[in-house]
């Protein structure tokens, strides 16, 4: 669901001559994380122009409900879900969201199998979670029981109980993001597999508060938690994975005390990672990290939903500085980075090889742009 580097999409699914904005409270480590806010459904606050432009541009990227990757000539089902979830979070485009859902109903096999004889757990989980979020039945989505498929991909081995695993041939690429989608979908369906899947997901939160992206390489290891010594170097801080897990956990009805605590710890960590200008990087501590719209967008989206409104507003200001303004050819599109924004040709045309990066960045930034209007904090997302 994301691009870590310009032009590179993450396999699963898992920037400043800028407006200088100080993230008020971002450096105050003694403050307790804010409790998640309930959406203020009755309060009608005008949508920021930048958020509306981003939604317009994203909508224009759909053709018959799907995003078409023109460079490699395929329908990108995962990115189509990302676009639909961004539009759902912004509100007011239910017809477009339902068009995406309808298109995906006809692509269940193609998306979840990847053309193999098995299943990719991340795709099954993401599609099932999406079905729940848009009000469809995940047990009969496109004529397929996605919950049953998902349950069949949940490990029952004692040392890895609850872990999602692929049945497709080749390397198992299941990761924490897919685990989060799966935990939400199973919980919504009342599946008995929900509890172990959620417990395994929570074990992927590290002591510092972040969620790692990669699961323990050995599925037979006795301890597969984030803090189990990390023998494969897989527990590095990851902004995008943390934010995406939080978004999934926020969809869980009647969250447990363990989930609430995990959300608070993740919020505190995200606030710590935010720079004074509002931006975030994908991998804190990595050599030469570059602030990106993907990481800043996801974090801003999450912080807004959790009620950290000043930090969410700072992220939104940073994103607005790398968004193509109204009146331009690609108005509303959000660049991955400051470099990508400044590299847009004078014609304003986003060329095909660069389009995927712009689409992914905008899909993850659009909901965060809602927080340019502070009154929308906590109310712009379901």
Q: Which fold has domain 3-376?
A: Glycosyltransferase (1.50.10)
**379 — pLDDT class (breaks 50, 70, 90):** low
pLDDT of residue 305: 96
Residue 68: pLDDT over 60 = yes
Whether residue 381 has pLDDT greater than 60: no
For residue 83, pLDDT beyond 80:
yes
Assign 323 a pLDDT band (cuts: 50, 70, 90): very high
Q: What is the pLDDT of residue 257?
A: 98
The tens digit of pLDDT for each residue in 150-193 reads 999 999 999 999 999 999 999 999 999 999 999 999 999 999 99
Q: What is the pLDDT of residue 285?
A: 86
The confidence score (pLDDT) of residue 21 equals 31
For residue 366, pLDDT over 80 is answered with yes
Averaged pLDDT, 73-77: 98
Residues 6+ apart with CB under 8 A from 74: 68
How far CA 353 is from CA of 122, 216, 235, 359, in Å, comes to: 26, 34, 32, 11
In tens, the pLDDT along 226-270 reads 998 776 778 999 999 999 999 999 999 999 999 999 999 999 999
pLDDT of 27 > 50? The answer is no
Distance, CA of 315 to CA of 368 (rounded, Å)? 7
pLDDT of residue 44: 63
For residue 323, the SS3 value is strand
From residue 223, alpha-carbon distances to 36, 227, 242 in Å are 31, 9, 21
Element (H, E) at 75: strand 74-76
Task: Give percent of the chain above pLDDT 90.
Answer: 83
Report the pLDDT value the prediction gives residue 143, as an integer from 0 to 100: 98
Which alpha helices (H) appear in 152-238, and where do they start and end?
176-188, 194-202
In the predicted structure, residue 370 carries a pLDDT above the cut 50:
yes
For residue 34, pLDDT beyond 50: no
pLDDT at site 28:
35
Structure tokens at 371: 């927080």
pLDDT of residue 209: 98
Structure tokens, 374: 């502070």
């Amino acid at each position: 669901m994301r691009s870590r580097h310009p032009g590179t999409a993450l396999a699963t699914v898992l920037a400043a001559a800028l407006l200088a904005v100080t993230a008020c409270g971002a450096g105050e480590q003694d403050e307790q994380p804010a409790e998640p806010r309930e959406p203020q459904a009755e309060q009608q606050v005008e949508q920021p122009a930048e958020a509306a432009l981003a939604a317009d541009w994203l909508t224009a990227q759909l053709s018959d409900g799907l995003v078409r990757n023109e460079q490699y000539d395929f329908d990108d089902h995962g990115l189509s879900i990302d676009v639909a979830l961004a539009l759902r979070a912004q509100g007011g485009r239910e017809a477009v969201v339902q068009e995406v859902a309808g298109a995906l109903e006809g692509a269940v096999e193609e998306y979840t199998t990847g053309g193999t004889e098995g299943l990719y757990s991340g795709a099954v989980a993401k599609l099932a979670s999406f079905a729940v979020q848009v009000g469809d039945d995940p047990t009969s989505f496109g004529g397929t029981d996605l919950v049953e498929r998902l349950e069949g991909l949940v490990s029952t081995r004692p040392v890895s109980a609850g872990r999602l695993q692929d049945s497709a041939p080749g390397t198992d690429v299941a990761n924490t993001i897919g685990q989060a989608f799966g935990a939400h979908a199973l919980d919504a369906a009342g599946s008995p597999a929900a509890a172990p899947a959620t417990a395994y997901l929570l074990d992927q939160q590290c002591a510092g508060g972040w969620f790692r992206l990669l699961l323990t390489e050995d599925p037979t290891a006795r301890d597969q938690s984030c803090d189990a010594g990390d023998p494969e170097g897989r527990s590095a801080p990851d902004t995008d994975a943390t934010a995406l897990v939080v978004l999934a956990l926020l969809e869980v009805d009647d969250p447990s005390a363990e989930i609430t605590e995990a959300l608070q710890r993740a919020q505190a960590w995200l606030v710590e990672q935010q720079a004074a200008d509002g931006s975030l990087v994908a991998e804190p501590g990595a050599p030469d990290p570059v602030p990106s719209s993907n990481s800043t967008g996801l974090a801003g989206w999450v912080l807004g939903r959790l009620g950290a409104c000043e930090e969410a507003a700072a992220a939104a200001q940073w994103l607005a500085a790398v968004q193509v303004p109204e009146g331009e050819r690609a108005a509303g599109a959000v660049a991955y980075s400051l470099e990508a924004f400044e590299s847009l040709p004078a014609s304003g045309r986003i060329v095909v090889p660069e389009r995927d990066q712009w689409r992914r960045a905008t899909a993850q930034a659009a909901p965060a742009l809602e927080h340019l209007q502070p009154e929308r904090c906590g109310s712009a997302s379901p």
